[in-house]
Amino acid sequence: MTTSQPVLSLRGMTKRFGTVTAADAIDLDLSRGEVLALLGENGAGKTTLMNMLFGQYTPDSGSVHVWDESGTERLLPPGQPHAAIEARIGMVHQHFTLAENLSVVDNILLGTERLFHLNRNRRAARAKLEALMTHSGLHAPLDARIRDLSVGERQRVEILKALYRDVRILVLDEPTAVLTPQEADGLFVSMRSMVAQGLSVIFISHKLREVLSFSDRIAVLRHGAKVGEMATAEADTHSIIRMMIGEEHDAPERSPGKTGETALRLSGINVAPGRDTGGLLDVSLDLKAGEIVGIAGVSGNGQSALARVISGLVAPSSGSIETATASQTALTPRTALAQGIGRIPEDRHHDGIVAALSVAENLVIERLDDPEVSRAGFLKRSAMAKHAEDLSAAYDVRGPGIHARAALLSGGNIQKLILARVLETHPGVILANQPTRGLDFRAAAEVSRRLIAARDRGAGVILISEDLDEVLSLADRILVMHAGELTETASRDRSAIGQLMAGHAA
């Protein structure tokens, strides 16, 4: 139900950080009952723009206009989150802003009650919330603590939190990143009904499929500027991507490869669940050389435990691990490396690099005792520098130079550094855990291409990803992880795999 009645208008929003212009004179309009999708690569300025709308950042220039119910135009004072909340603008952040030690109802009421009151009237609040849940179709257990909820439930709490304040404009920042396809569909159905009642939505997503099915209009940002806008009805994947990256996007092509001997075999692996991670229940996996095995699933179902077992960071309580050269009950980081397991960790900033060391040092950090790198405990600085120059060029690692601290690289370049370090040694097994998460199209495509190339060279690749589209496009075989169990599926159908991800037998 799109009307021409405006609710929000951003005019000439500009924000500079040092010499970088993160947002450059962006105009954006939103009508009542409209879903506007905001698209762009990482660093295109989407988050900066939304942070300005919410008063988290004060814009260098530009203004935010809002229209209230009666159609009266008002200017939002810059740099004040309070003003945005009062103008009934709500935001569901990509990273949940929930206090995990509090109940659902406390999280929703937070900030809506007077602080210095010795009592609270929660009956009225609860009644309003119950009505809201029925009305929106978004349900959450009100008295449960956030820490006991699934991510899907947390997401609903985030949205209810905004709706409770009677928002008229809702910003959703990558709302489906952590949901199963079914949960995502349910979310869109609920949002659709809210939109039909006059809610306006700004929707940020990387998933073009969702954008095409859910939005009314699409605005594309690139390098901090708005480069295009179109009605969703007139858009298709190709035209959007061309607008986003400014050129034709060539998705990596997967052709069936030639599989060989077993590269890694896990048999009956059990790991007890940890405080923040799921465990593993009798997981077996047979990885052949020359294939990519994709492991799909919503994060937190044991993927981290599996990755840690293969990386040698955790010893399983039972089971065995067999590589091309040895069989054992547990790997250590050292034996994992020695047996040719290359690791691309999930948290690339934290586990993938040592931020305080230079690019050159990070490139050899897994083989410091290699004679090419050191002799008698002394590093060969010039050989390392030459090596780093060569690898940086080959893998297109861009940054302030090989002697700069790795912390100064962008996320995409850190990932290229890790790829260079891992692939250079031609490992027989490559463990890629969320290798493209948070990367833009170009960087993600580059990572995918490298993984396929490694497979074609004869490596066995384990690809753990929350992005089902990525698994579908890269993997030769697909396994689904749920509640610590690994199930192989022959199906390449999204909804069938989605059922498995949600724990329903296919």
Partner 1 sequence: MMDILQIFLSDSFWAASLRIATPLIFGVLGALLCERSGVLNLGIEGIFVVGAMMGWLTAYLTGSLWLGVIFAALSGGLFGLFHAVLTVPLGLSQHVSGLGITMFATALMSFSYRTIFPQVSTPPRIEPFRALDVPLLSDLPFLGPVLFQQTAMTWLALLLVALLWWIMDRTALGVAIKAVGDNPDAVNAQGLSVIRLRMGAVVAGSALMALGGAFLTMSAFDAFFFGMVNGRGWICIALVIFASWQPGKALLGALLFGMFDALQVRLQTEAGALIPGQVFLMVPYVLSIVALIIAARKADYPRALLQPWFKGQR
Chain centroid to Cα 375, Å, comes to 41
Cα–Cα dist 9/65, whole Å: 5
120 binds partner 1 (CB under 8 A): yes
Confirm or reject binding of residue 264 to partner 1 (CB under 8 A): no
186's enclosing H/E stretch is helix 181-196
Q: Which of 161, 226, 421, 482 is close enough to bind partner 1 by CB under 8 A?
A: 161
The reply on whether position 95 binds partner 1 by CB under 8 A is: yes
- Is residue 269 within 8 A of residue 284, CB to CB? The reply is yes
**327 contributes a contact to partner 1 by CB under 8 A:** no
Q: Round to whole Å and give the CA distance between 72 and 64.
A: 14
- Provide DSSP, 92-114: E-SS----TTSBHHHHHHTTTS-
CB of 110 to partner 1, least distance (A): 5
Regarding 166 and contact with partner 1 (CB under 8 A), the answer is no
User: Scanning the structure block, which residue is given the tokens 């993997």?
Assistant: 475
Q: Is 131 in the site for partner 1 (CB under 8 A)?
A: no
Binding characters for partner 1, 24-63, by CB under 8 A (x = yes): ---------------------------x----xx------
Measured between its terminal Cα atoms, the distance across the chain in Å is 37
**Can residue 350 be called a binding residue for partner 1 (CB under 8 A)?**
no
- 97 lies in the binding site for partner 1 (CB under 8 A): yes
Binding residue for partner 1, selected from 1, 69, 75, 111, defined by CB under 8 A = 111
The verdict on 91 binding partner 1 (CB under 8 A) reads yes
155 near partner 1, rule: CB under 8 A? no
98 lies in the site for partner 1, by CB under 8 A: yes
Cβ contact 341:311 at 8 Å: yes
Kindly state the smallest distance separating residue 228's Cβ from partner 1, in Å.
28
Q: Is 82 in the site for partner 1 (CB under 8 A)?
A: yes
Of residues 281, 280, 306, 297, the one with CA closest to residue 500: 297
Contact 164, 112 (CB under 8 A): yes
Q: Count CB neighbours of 126 within 10 A.
A: 15
**Residue choice 49, 53, 66, 85 for contact with partner 1 (CB under 8 A):** 85
Residue choice 1, 20, 75, 99 for contact with partner 1 (CB under 8 A) = 99
Whole-angstrom Cα distance, residue 233 to residue 231?
A: 5
Q: Which stretch binds partner 1 (CB under 8 A): 67-75, 113-121, 133-141, 401-409?
A: 113-121
Q: Closest distance between partner 1 and the C-beta of residue 347, in Å?
A: 15
> Which amino acid makes up residue 99?
A
Copy the structure tokens of residue 301: 């179902």
In three-state secondary structure terms, 163 is helix
Asked if residue 75 binds partner 1 (CB under 8 A), the reply is no
Of the listed pieces 104-112, 168-176, 359-367, 477-485, which binds partner 1 according to CB under 8 A? 104-112
8: tokens are: 């929000």
- Binding partner 1 by CB under 8 A: which of 101, 197, 237, 425? 101
Q: CB–CB of 137/197 below 8 Å? A: no
What are the residues binding partner 1 (CB under 8 A)?
51, 56-57, 81-82, 85, 91, 93, 95, 97-102, 106-107, 109-120, 161
